Each structure stands twice: as structure tokens, then as C-alpha cells.
Amino acid sequence: MTPQTPAEKLLVAMDLHDAGLAMKLAQLARAYPEASDDALEQKLNEWLESRARRKWAGVEGFVERDLRDFK
């Protein structure tokens, strides 16, 4: 196997990220079978935001912002 370039490694990481999001979305769809696609997307975004808050809570200099401000 040929060593991967940094760009190839990044693509693999991005693919894994996308696969993880797809798996979480599928889990949410099983948990909330009556939910619309938009509602499931909202639940996924809420889950992602809650994980980010937990990860960075207590880190000096971290300022929590509403992600909607960046759209």
C-alpha cells in the first residue's frame, strides 16, 4: 500500500465524517419514525451542537455562539 498524501488522508477523514453523520441520521430516523426529513435534520443539528458544547465547555477562551449566526 502506497503512503497517503495529506490530501488523501483529509478526503478519507471527510468520508468517515459523512458516513458517521449518515449513521446518526439513520439512528434518529429509527428513533423518530414519524418525524419529517426537516425534523430529523433539526435533531441531527441539535445533537451536533450539544456535542460541541460539551467538548469545549470549560476551555479557557471558548465563547459559545449560535451557529445560525454563521449562515
DSSP codes of every residue in the chain: -PPPPHHHHHHHHHHHHHHHHHHHHHHHHHH-TT--HHHHHHHHHHHHHHHHHHHHTT-TT-----GGGG-
For position 33, what pLDDT does the model report? Answer: 96
Going from the first residue of the chain to its last (71 residues), give the mean pLDDT of each consecutive group of 10, the final group possibly shorter: 89 95 97 97 92 75 68 56
For position 49, what pLDDT does the model report? Answer: 85
For position 66, what pLDDT does the model report? Answer: 67
For position 70, what pLDDT does the model report? Answer: 65
pTM for this entry: 0.71
